[in-house]
Structure 1
Amino acid sequence: MNGRFLLADNLENLIRRTALFGILGIGAGFVIITGGIDLSIGSVVALAGCMLPWLLAVHHWPASAVVPLLLGIALCIGLAHGLLITKLRLQPFVVTLCGLLLYRGTARGIAGDQTQGFGVGFESLRYLAVGTPFSIPVPFLSWISEGRFSPYAVHPFTGVRTRLDPITWIDIPMPFLLFLAIAVAASIFLNRTIYGRYLMALGRNEQAARYSGVDTDRMTILAYVLCSVLSCFGGMLFALEVNSAQPVDFGNFYELYAIAAAVLGGFSLRGGEGAVMGVVLGTALMQVLRNAINMLGVPTQIEFAVIGAVILSGVIADELVRRYAAARRKVVGA
């Protein structure tokens, strides 16, 4: 294990990135559970991330007006996706692919292809992305990070031994708390409410759900609205974290990270299966993979190859599990 992986700064950054991408993953999960797909997540992230500093720093709008406005725009985006898919019977792939291009182009047009930044202000708002409300103690972490369980660090050139503190304090970033709140709310929604059961039923068999009295159109629209709103919220947090947004590449391929995290976490691309805890674990694994690529000195160009392999592995595993379950049912029925 690379000793830098267990450094406090690296773990804090890993937790923050897991939280930010996890919010997008939960949004993607809502759509995937209905059997749909949303390819516009990254472009919604870019639109929200560029419009936030553009309205706050350039046009001097108050944050109390900008944040609800952007969330309202995201709600309308999700509503448009849902209506096109349910009323016009367009394929989700086509609708959201067009959205990917449309929202990216809108962000670039609004910003004039110029980087939008917050400057030195808006500290209270930026606290949502970069704040650390509290820290937790982790015993012996610094000892393990040396590659062996030792209370001493040895300088690689001079050989001087330095005693390490037995307790390492890890800052818990604010985005992680927001992510936990969203994850808990999403889990309760999916597992403890009738609407969550409706989404599951819709993904398993839309026609059967409709015959059972479920308003499948309304549930599909709800899934796309939730995905767009969470993408918008995540986009604002991403922009606040880096203090700026470049419309050309901000949020590029973030939909892939979101979909990969959901699939890796157990969401079936066929719909009807998935758990929020799986998204949490899937997102964490994706970020650990990205971090490992950097730590091990592997060329970052293969990062997307890793993501593609993860998605493909999830699809293959889903198909094998489906076939195994079908074979078991056949044996039991016989």
Structure 2
Amino acid sequence: MLVQAYAMGFSVDSFGEWCGRWVDNTLNVLRANSSVGMIALGMTLVIITGGIDLAVGSTLAGVGTVVMVMIDTSANGVLQRLGISGPAGFALAIVAGLLSGALIGALIGLAVTKGRVPPFIVTLGAMNVVRSVAQYFTKSYSPKVPDEFTALANTQIFGYRILPILYWLALAAILFVVMKRTRFGRYVYAVGSNERTTRLSGINVDRVKFLVYTLMGVVVALAAVTQVSRTRGVDVASAGLGYELDAIAAVVVGGTSMSGGRGHILGTVLGVLIIGVMNNLLILLGADSFLTDAFKGAIVIAAVLLQRKQQQ
């Protein structure tokens, strides 16, 4: 934040203006990274179990498509055809989105636990399948998101559009409690620490993994609903592209071990802030946009190497 503030200091004339721009820019960074932040929280649980999910970006695009098709104000909209509108229609669309996200996560979880397919392979395939299916059904169709739906993320509080940030922090608080205070959270850590010992102790490892991937799908669905509301829709072809790298980078920078068994929700929140601020700093300094992904990839590699060195 200090480096970010220093970079901004060259373009303002007074301290008051500097403070105002700093607050605005910081909130913009947090709001823009709210969807990635939510996904990173779910990714934390997946990585703690020793897994990975490369399909989060495509899942966001797929769920976003489901929500948009439901609330579409044109004659093609599902709820329009059923004669349902307003808050009831929005609630149904959100539920449909959450269920579709849960379904995608559950199918991935089944492939990992029952099919014994490595998570990397399963989610790599799902990444292509989900986005391709969404594109197939919307190839010549542009859903129209009603103005009222955008209020879910764009309503101002004290003059600022901070609802996406509040959603992200609320989810972080919930998952923090789940991981620290519940039996399920302890099981997640146990599976990642030593799966064989955990299985011998009587814990249903497959069920834990299945629930984690299903929860990942629900979390991505929440991010998708927020993004549809915040940006008035999503482009199926490009929505969520690179989110898997952003989420993994935030999780790793936050201290979660890629080998599983160790990680913290609060660390992931900090990791999201670091990645978001560094991305914004590169923009403020006029860095080439093509270097952004290279920068994040380098961060992941460096963080993993540091973790390996600490474990030796």
Q: Output the TM-score relative to the length of structure 1.
A: 0.82
Counterpart Cα distance in 2 of 1:264 and 1:247: 29
Specify which of 73, 82, 92 is matched with residue 119 of structure 2. 92
2:230 match: 241
The Cα of 1:113 is off from its aligned counterpart by: 5.6
The Cα of 1:132 is off from its aligned counterpart by: 2.7
Say if 2:201 is the partner of 1:212: yes
1:29 match: 44
Say if 2:28 is the partner of 1:39: no
Counterpart Cα distance in 2 of 1:209 and 1:46: 35
Letter in 2 for 1:290: N
What are the residue-to-residue correspondences of 1:261-300 with 2, within 5 Å? Answer: 261-300=250-289
2:104 match: 77
Counterpart Cα distance in 1 of 2:66 and 2:165: 24
Contact 2:110 2:210 in 1 (8 A): yes
The Cα of 1:60 is off from its aligned counterpart by: 4.7
Say if 2:167 is the partner of 1:188: no
Aligned length: 285
The Cα of 1:114 is off from its aligned counterpart by: 4.8
The Cα of 1:290 is off from its aligned counterpart by: 0.9
1:67 match: 94
Contact 2:49 2:261 in 1 (8 A): yes
1:115–1:261 CA distance, 2 compared to 1 (3 A): farther
Counterpart Cα distance in 2 of 1:267 and 1:312: 13
Which aligned runs of 4 or more in structure 1 are off by greater than 4 angstroms? Answer: none
Counterpart Cα distance in 1 of 2:255 and 2:140: 38
1:148 match: none
| Structure 1 residues 89-130: Cα deviation after superposition (integer angstroms, max 9, x where no partner) | 111011111110011001111211654441xx342x322222
Specify which of 107, 114, 130 is matched with residue 154 of structure 2. 130
Contact 1:43 1:251 in 2 (8 A): yes
What are the residue-to-residue correspondences of 1:86-125 with 2, within 5 Å? Answer: 86-112=113-139, 114-118=141-145, 121-123=146-148, 125=149
2:82 match: none
Q: Output the TM-score relative to the length of structure 2.
A: 0.87
Specify which of 209, 213, 226 is matched with residue 215 of structure 2. 226
As a proportion of its length, which structure holds more strand? 1
Counterpart Cα distance in 2 of 1:33 and 1:117: 39
Q: Which has the larger radius of gyration?
A: 1
> Structure 1 vs Structure 2: percent identity of aligned residues?
31
Gaps in structure 1 of 5+ consecutive residues = 136-170, 324-334
1:199 match: 188
Counterpart Cα distance in 2 of 1:131 and 1:268: 37
Contact 2:40 2:251 in 1 (8 A): yes
Aligned partner of residue 33 in structure 2, secondary structure: helix
Aligned partner of residue 237 in structure 1, secondary structure: helix
